[in-house]
Amino acid sequence: MRALTWTGVNQLSVEDVPEPQLLNDHDVILKITRTTTCGSDLHLLSGYIPFMRAGDVIGHEFMGEVVEVGSGVRNRRVGDRVVVASFVSCGNCWYCRNELYSLCDNSNPNPGITEGLWGQAIGGCLGYSHAVGGYAGSHAEYMRVPFADVGSFVVPDGVPDDRALFASDAASTAFTGVDLGGVQPGDTVAVWGAGAVGQMAARISALVGAEQVVVIDRLPERLEQARTHAGADVIDYSSTDVAAELRERTGGRGPDVCIEAVGMEAHSPGPQGVYDQVKQQLRLQTDRTSAVREAIMACRKGGSVFTLGVFAAMVDKFPLGAVMNKGLTLRGAQVHGPRYIPRLLEWMESGELVTEHLATHVMPLEEAPRGYELFKEKQDGCVRAVFLPHG
């Protein structure tokens, strides 16, 4: 079959690879109908997550049709149209039973790597490096999905593919931040980053009752989408003092909940940006955290800061004093997909949550390297490139 593979830093290729097989009783094989780029893929592409092997098939946000079912699968049938959570979850360990699905004990076959990095191993993630399992990803014609009863969800007939696709990761990641960040009715929520995850965080915050939602970015086309489709107020950080603007809009308090949806390659104007770039390039820190710093400083006293963007390991110049002295709750998580995908599909079916506008560039899988180039360089207004492996 054809698949998009990582072949080296900033190098991708579409090539022939073997088809996947059922390996465990709880697996299904999926015919991929739609699969999309994610901002976190760019960290793999740029070489900031050094657990990629040349030839790895990438991609973790996708949907498709079940074409083969393992003997232990109970709730999926051949022909089901499903959307799949990006993290793999067994459904039976203590973490899964407590809906902390991305922390699954049994889905990362390479636990030694992340135990060394973080003290404990987290769950496996499809198509996202050998640190989280080394699973083949979704930018392919077919894919193996382990523990399919837990991680795959039948898409209601009324939800089109270009909407359901984003329940897989972008919207469920956003919901993770909104829920665990503690957004309450009446809150003011600030979201750093107007990519797909940031836009979804803004919209879902409004759906759960936030009274005011502000999205921060520098790209006008993304800010316009956040305004139009998420109903958010927007701030262009390249021309505005973000903290001052937020104070002005919140009676001097600051946002109740600050959601960071940028990750380890945050851009920042001025000396701070140069400092972070130099230290990251010299591998003296693994992550650039300007958005997290700004969120911590802007957040109201006693408020909540949630890191949704992907970070790898160590950071520098972290305002821990502000966290402690302002009584902030600082929390982060990878996506707990199965906890949120059913509710997201309901909102998608009712029309309260729409995502089609995110798919700015739809193309055949053969053109995926060009799609990633558009996405990485943010050319031609690209918010997400969506690939169609079967045309």
Binding site for other proteins (CB under 8 A): 1, 3, 5, 7-8, 13, 15-21, 23-26, 50-57, 72, 90-94, 97, 105-107, 109-113, 115-116, 119-121, 130, 133-136, 140, 144, 146-147
Q: Which is nearer to other proteins, 119 or 251 (CB)?
A: 119
CB of 146 to other proteins, least distance (A): 7
185 within 8 A of 212, measured Cβ to Cβ: no
CB of 64 to other proteins, least distance (A): 15
Best CA proximity match to 122, nearest among 134, 108, 136: 108
281 within 8 A of 238, measured Cβ to Cβ: no
CB of 129 to other proteins, least distance (A): 10
How much of the chain is helix, strand and coil, in % rounded to 5? 35, 25, 40
**C-beta neighbour count of 157 within 10 angstroms:** 8
Residue 238 CA to residue 216 CA, distance in Å, equals 10
CB of 84 to other proteins, least distance (A): 16
Residue 362, beta-bridge partner list:
386
Q: What is the distance in angstroms between the CA of the first residue and the CA of the last residue of the chain?
A: 13
Residues in contact with 283: Cβ distance below 8 Å, sequence separation at least 6, in sequence order: none
Q: Which is nearer to other proteins, 105 or 316 (CB)?
A: 105
Q: Which is nearer to other proteins, 39 or 146 (CB)?
A: 146
Q: Which is nearer to other proteins, 113 or 330 (CB)?
A: 113
CB of 95 to other proteins, least distance (A): 9
Q: Which is nearer to other proteins, 66 or 132 (CB)?
A: 132
Tell me which DSSP letter residue 194 carries.
Answer: -
CB of 143 to other proteins, least distance (A): 8
Tell me which DSSP letter residue 159 carries.
Answer: S
Q: Which is nearer to other proteins, 54 or 324 (CB)?
A: 54
Residue 130 CA to residue 123 CA, distance in Å, equals 12
Residue 190, beta-bridge partner list:
214, 258
Q: What is the helix (H) or strand (E) element at residue 2, kind and residue range?
A: strand 2-8
